[in-house]
């Protein structure tokens, strides 16, 4: 399976699978750190860094941010209290 650079630990170990419980959601998880986070499939936007339409919104219980799957830019990072 193709891996991406993890937005947390920056290792090339970030992979995804379709969620079994939540349709329209993709689950991203990292093989190198405990990060597990959800992506709403309907929500892809143009990235302000690389111009590709590969910026998605990732969210978990703890945090949420925009992440670009092409250039790995993390924007609008917010910790959920």
* Interface ranges with Zn ion (CB under 5 A): 6, 8-9, 30, 32-33, 35, 47, 49-50, 68, 70-71, 73
Cα angle, residue 49 at apex, residues 47 and 52 outer, rounded to 5°: 40
From its phi and psi, is residue 22 left (phi > 0), alpha (psi between -120 and 50) or beta?
A: beta
Shortest CB 35 distance to Zn ion, Å: 5
DSSP, collapsed to helix, strand or coil, labels residue 37 as: strand
* Strands of 36-45's sheet in order across: 4-5, 12-18, 25-30, 36-45, 55-59, 63-68, 74-79
Shortest CB 49 distance to Zn ion, Å: 4
Q: Which is nearer to Zn ion, 23 or 62 (CB)?
A: 62
Q: Which is nearer to Zn ion, 8 or 23 (CB)?
A: 8
Shortest CB 23 distance to Zn ion, Å: 26
Q: Which is nearer to Zn ion, 27 or 50 (CB)?
A: 50
């Amino acid at each position: 399976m193709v891996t991406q650079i993890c937005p947390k630990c920056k290792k090339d170990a970030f992979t995804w699978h379709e969620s079994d419980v939540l349709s329209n959601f993709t689950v991203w998880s990292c093989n190198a750190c405990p990060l597990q986070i959800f992506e709403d499939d309907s929500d892809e936007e143009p990235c302000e860094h690389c111009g590709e339409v590969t910026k998605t919104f990732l969210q978990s219980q703890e945090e949420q941010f925009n992440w670009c799957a092409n250039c790995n830019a993390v924007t609008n990072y917010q910790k959920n209290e």
